[in-house]
Structure formats: C-alpha cells, structure tokens
Amino acid sequence: MGNDLFDNLMKTYDRQLDYSGINGERIAKRLYELSEIGFTSDGGVRRPGFSNEEKSAKQLVKSWMDEAGLKVTEDGAGNVIGRLDGVNNDLPAVASGSHVDSVPNGGHFDGPVGVLAALEVASAWKEMNFIPKKPYEMIIFTDEEGSRFNSGLTGSTAMTGNEDYAKQTQMVDYNGDSFESVLQAYGSSLQGFKEAKRDMKELEIFIEVHIEQGKKLENDDLPVGIVSGIAGPAWLEVTFTGEAGHAGNTPMNGRRDPLIAAAEFIQKVEGFPEKVSDTAVATIGKVNVSPNGINVIPQLVTLNVDIRDIYKDTRDELLQLIIQEAEHIAGNREISINVKENTKIQPVPIKKELQNKLANSISKYGLEPAYIPSGAGHDAMNLGMHIPVAMLFVRSKDGISHNPKEWSTLNDIVTTIHVLKDCVEGVMEE
C-alpha cells in the first residue's frame, strides 16, 4: 500500500486557514515525511521508543526546529528540547509538545500532531518576525506509548523525576534486552537517564495538543476541544481461587468454580463507575483461566481491572467499590480471593483558569468550547504533577486511534494550532 497521506490531507484543505504565519501545506508535508519513518505494509506506522525509527523521526524534527530558529538539545532520556529566547529570558518558559513514537502498528497522528503543532507556533513566529516576551520551548518526549517495555511516558517521567529508577532498570524489552543495554544502544546511559531530571520551575506552563481518540468532537461537529482533566489509572489484579474438578463427574451443586465468580464480577463492574462520577470508567480487558481445559472446572481465574477518573477521590472510591464487590462475590461462593494493586497514578484535573484561557482562544475563532475528560494518559499528566498544564484535543474521525485508520483532517489540525498559538501568545503577555 502506498503512502498518500499528503495528498489526502491537502485534498480538502481550506487555504484560507493559512494566516498569522501558520501554513497548512508545511504541516501536511511534515506529517507525511514523519509517516515514512516506520511505515507499515497496511498503511500504519511502527516506531517503538528508543528504536532507530524513533531516533530518525526525532532527527528529522530537529532539522525543522533548526529552521524555525530553536536551539536544540537532547537529554539522557532521549527527550528533545527546542528553545526560543524571549525578550526576558529570566522568566520561566512557556512550553508545548508531544511524542513521535508509536504503538506497534499505529496511526500517523497520535503524537506527531502535538509535536508539529508546537513547532508550527515557532515557525509562524519566525515568518512574522515575532519575538515572544518569554522564552518558548517545544519538547519531544521519548517513549510515550511504552510499547518497548510495556511501561509508557518514559521521557516525561525522567524529566520530572517521577521515575522509579530501581523498577525502571529491571525492565526488559520485547527482545529480551535490558533497559540499560537499550539506552546504551540508543547512545545514552543509566547515568544520563537519571540526569534528564530538570528543575520544573524553569517552565511556567505546558500546553499539549493531541488527537481526541474519542467521538465527542465528531458528534458535536467541532474541530477542537478542551481537556478538562487527565485520568489517572489504577490497575487491579484480582485472582479468584476455587477447586478444580472433572467437568463430567463433579455435580453442579457444591462446585467452587472461580470462573463463575469472575463472570459475576465482570458483570457487576460495568455498573459501578456511574455510581461515583460521570467521568469514571472501569474496564476488564485481560482474563487468564487455569488450567484452561475444556473438560476441567478451573482452579483459578485472574482478571486485570483498569479503573480511571480525572478526580482522585472518585477514582479511589470506585477502586474500593470494586474491591469490596470482588470480596463479596468470593465470600458468597466460598472461594478465596487475592487482590493486588499494580498501578496507581495520580489523576490531573486541568485548572479552570487554564480551561478558560483555552476557551477564550477558541471563542475568537467563532467556535463553541467543548470540554472533554481524557481517559488516556499523556506526558502532560507527568508535568501536571509539578507545573500548570493544559490540553487541546483535535477531532478524530470515528474516534479511531492506535490504528492505521487513525485520521484527523488538516483543517481541524490547523484550526487547533491557531488556538494553541493564540493561547501561548496570551500567556506570554501576562
């Protein structure tokens, strides 16, 4: 399958959106050139974190950053930082960015749209001979998706110091290579990775652009939306242990079947999120049955529950409701249960003040502000534990993401970049 991304982007583009230094064709060309790196046979992209493909994509963007007048550096975690001096360089920088790595066969918009949006602000300023009052930074975070080590947001956790270094150094990738050896092959080291931590006081605010990965904007017929908060996931591993037996010789009465308990649990979990919040969600996406024989009553069943909300209190309330239900079901069925909390990440609500800034910028373009919670994690989530952050979503066709069919129109992308630029310039003036 050929790569006709550029032609498809330009086919419906409204060139009247080219003003204030922003150029849609430039953005389309850059999206196309990035899509060529790791292009897959079915039209997707494969750029794992710390891979040659991710590195090549960063090198390409670095060349564009140079063209835009940014001073480019790369830290020991692989994060690329482009800095543009302002009138007063003693002030903290206003920053924007995203990532260029992908899931194994992903689309061409998740990550690169945010990177190119941040870059286009600087490119537009250069064309307009505009010098911001405060310094500006665009950042490409490394290994956001986490497909290399099954643990994402690697670059932003290193930059913010949120990393558990002991845990990180024990990780092994899909090739069986250690984290240290992968870093060395990339051109860094464990020491360089640790030194990627920076003083977050150097940044005033971080504003990330990302595709929505959902259907709200499409349903509302809006090109751009405001993220109201970034959900923090809590992952539970729930194991029901019963008594294995022969499927034919064990009477139904008195069986201690953990799979029946698990089935009841799965059904109950679906109804809990609405009890605590209209932004909470819970998903059971992984189930392991042992011994998993067609004629054997299972001995044990392990389920993984993903629980999320943009508010910590309601997320934790939902977590407890689900644990209590699992224990209740196990007790009623006289089987044992073990619940293990594998992950618990702090949600990041976006401050109303910052949502209002984005709303003011959106309104300038005659658009209605729409507010959307982000169920997915983003690099802004890590930065939001230390500095103010905000996010803009770009409309996604059919809500598809992490898939070669992922698509956002160039009109929507450019409209969102205008909003980003306006908001950044507003913050510069404060």
Does the annotation place 402 within a ligand binding site? yes
Tokens representing residue 183 in the block: 């870093």
Q: What is the pLDDT of residue 284?
A: 95
The mean-pLDDT minimum among 229-233, 267-271, 390-394, 409-413 falls in 229-233
Contact 388, 354 (CB under 8 A): yes
Asked if the model's pLDDT at residue 225 lies above 90, the reply is: yes
CATH 3.30.1200.10 fits 232-344, yes or no: no
Asked if the model's pLDDT at residue 1 lies above 50, the reply is: no
Task: Print the SS3 string covering the chain.
Answer: CCCCHHHHHHHCCCHHHCCCCCCHHHHHHHHHHHHCCCECCCCCECCCCCCHHHHHHHHHHHHHHHHCCCEEEECCCCCEEEEECCCCCCCCEEEEEEECCCCCCECCCCCHHHHHHHHHHHHHHHHHCCCCCCCEEEEEECCCCCCCCCCCCHHHHHHHCCCCHHHHHCCECCCCCEHHHHHHHHCCCHHHHHCCCCCHHHEEEEEEEEECCCCHHHHHCCCEEEEEEECEEEEEEEEEECCCEECCCCCCCCCCCHHHHHHHHHHHHCCCHHHHCCCCEEEEEEEEEECCCCCEECCEEEEEEEEEECCHHHHHHHHHHHHHHHHHHHHHCCCEEEEEEEEECCCEECCHHHHHHHHHHHHCCCCCCCEEEECCCCHHHHHCCCCCEEEEEECCHHHCCCCCCCCCCHHHHHHHHHHHHHHHHHHHHC
Q: Over the stretch 108-140, which tens digit does the pLDDT of each residue have?
A: 999 999 999 999 999 999 999 999 999 999 999
Shared fold status for 5-230+347-429 and 232-344: no
The DSSP output letter for 15 is: G
Rounded average pLDDT over 285-309: 95
Contact 137, 89 (CB under 8 A): no
Query: Domain locations in the chain?
Result: 5-230+347-429, 232-344
Q: Over the stretch 63-97, which tens digit does the pLDDT of each residue have?
A: 999 999 999 999 999 999 999 999 999 999 999 99
Q: Global pTM?
A: 0.86
Rounded to 5°, the CA angle 309-100-229 comes to: 20
Round the average pLDDT of the chain to a whole number and report it: 95
What distance, in Å, lies between the first and last C-alpha atoms of the chain? 49
Give which of 322, 215, 229, 342 is closest to 272, Cα–Cα. Answer: 322
Does the annotation place 212 within a ligand binding site? no
Contact 319, 186 (CB under 8 A): no
Q: What is the pLDDT of residue 166?
A: 83
Q: Over the stretch 308-342, which tens digit does the pLDDT of each residue have?
A: 999 999 999 999 999 999 999 999 999 999 999 87
- For 322, phi then psi, to 5°, come to -70, -40
Asked if the model's pLDDT at residue 209 lies above 90, the reply is: yes
Q: What is the pLDDT of residue 258?
A: 97
Q: What is the pLDDT of residue 346?
A: 85
Q: Which CATH superfamily is domain 5-230+347-429 in?
A: Zn peptidases (3.40.630.10)
Does the annotation place 386 within a ligand binding site? no
Does the annotation place 99 within a ligand binding site? yes
Q: Over the stretch 397-418, which tens digit does the pLDDT of each residue have?
A: 999 999 999 999 999 999 999 9
Give which of 402, 21, 350, 424 is closest to 214, Cα–Cα. Answer: 402
Rounded average pLDDT over 366-395: 93
Q: Over the stretch 270-287, which tens digit does the pLDDT of each residue have?
A: 999 999 999 999 999 899
Identity of the amino acid at 179: F
Does the annotation place 210 within a ligand binding site? yes
Res. 169 pLDDT band, cuts 50 70 90: confident
